[in-house]
Structure 1
Amino acid sequence: MRRALIVGLVVLAPLAAGCGGGEDDAAAAPRAEKVSAAASAGVVAPAKVEVIAGLTGCKPKIRIEADELREGVCRTEKADYVITTFPEERLKQTWLDSASVYGGTYLVGTRWVVGAKPEVLDDLRPKLGGEIQKLQGIGPAPRS
């Protein structure tokens, strides 16, 4: 009797699992659609140095390639600027906290930062979005 019960459970287990699989497949289908729709819309997350540079009309020279960040330099006729991207938002915030020691003005977006003169950042902002942040720095203020 016990042997018959075990054999019956072994035979019925795949059938029961097969019946429940249809619900999981139906639930997974919309998620796959959303991912492909985002990809076809050109959504990039996190943004790459090359993508941000391309939006500004520049081909960057990558100078740092690390797990925590990637950094590229853009040199154009109008200006030079540095684009830094991060795999996580918290790494960007750590970078900004460290940069605040030195001061400066940056264009800051989701997982990316562009460093340049304020007038250059004003020109780049309509192309890239983001928010201009001025970091104070430590020590005496420069004389004007």
Structure 2
Amino acid sequence: MRLTRPRLALTGAVTVLALAGCGSGSDGGSGVPATATGSLEHLAAEVKCEPNMQTDADEIRQALCDVDDGKFVLATFATDRGQREWLNGAKDYGGYYLVGRKWVAVGEERTVTALQGTLGGTMEEGSEHMNPGGSHNKGGHDGGDHHG
């Protein structure tokens, strides 16, 4: 059987994906579970949080959660684009973001790291420009009060 270039390229891509473990549902040995999906209430239940709803709109639903590892904001989005736009704007304020498909959890590093052990997802860090040195990102607020 003679393989054409497009078929050869497709075969090569499939082989690379198989070797990389793409789509296998495994965590690659990182200890991070497969990324959770579902409604805001479902995700909150996974981490044993009773969500305190702050925004309940068609494009975004957002709640405050308080768990043993700390407080965080949990947001779900109607679209991937809406999620990315929100995340791009929010990250200007520092903090740590656990990102899943159409959801984000925002909080201190230790809180978000603990959530990742249950919800999976990818960790992203916000900008430090609001507070050089990253004290926003470390949860420390040494010195002056800049809230408000």
TM-score scaled to structure 2, two decimals?
0.61
Structure 1 segments, 4+ long, off by >4 Å, are none
Residue identity matched to 1:91: G
1:55-94 pair list within 5 angstroms:
55-94=46-85
Note the alpha carbon deviations across 1:10-62, whole angstroms, 9 max, x for none. Answer: xxxxxxxxxxxxxxxxxxxxxxxxxxxxxxxxxxx962111111000111111
In structure 2, distance between residues paired with 1:132 and 1:143: 16
In structure 1, distance between residues paired with 2:134 and 2:86: 27
Q: Which residue of 2 aligns with 1:36?
A: none
In structure 2, distance between residues paired with 1:119 and 1:78: 7
Q: 1:131 is matched with which residue: 103, 107, 122?
A: 122
Structure 1 window deviating more from structure 2 (123-132 vs 73-82): it is: 73-82
Give the 3 Å change call, closer, same or farther, for CA 138–68 of structure 1 in structure 2. Answer: farther
Residue identity matched to 1:103: G
In structure 1, distance between residues paired with 2:130 and 2:115: 29
Q: Which runs of 5+ in 2 are unaligned?
A: 1-35, 136-148
How many Å apart are 1:143 and its aligned residue?
7.0
Higher helix share: 1
Residue identity matched to 1:49: L
C-alpha RMSD over aligned residues = 2.0
SS in 2 for 1:63: strand
* Matched length: 100
Give the 3 Å change call, closer, same or farther, for CA 139–62 of structure 1 in structure 2. Answer: closer
How many Å apart are 1:70 and its aligned residue?
0.1
Q: Which has the larger radius of gyration?
A: 1
Q: Which residue of 1 aligns with 2:44?
A: 53
In structure 2, distance between residues paired with 1:142 and 1:122: 20
How many Å apart are 1:103 and its aligned residue?
1.8
Note the alpha carbon deviations across 1:49-98, whole angstroms, 9 max, x for none. Answer: 11111000111111101122000111234411110000100000000111
Judge conservation of contact 1:107–1:121 (CA < 8 Å) in 2.
Answer: yes
Q: Which runs of 5+ in 1 are unaligned?
A: 1-44
Alignment identity in percent? 31
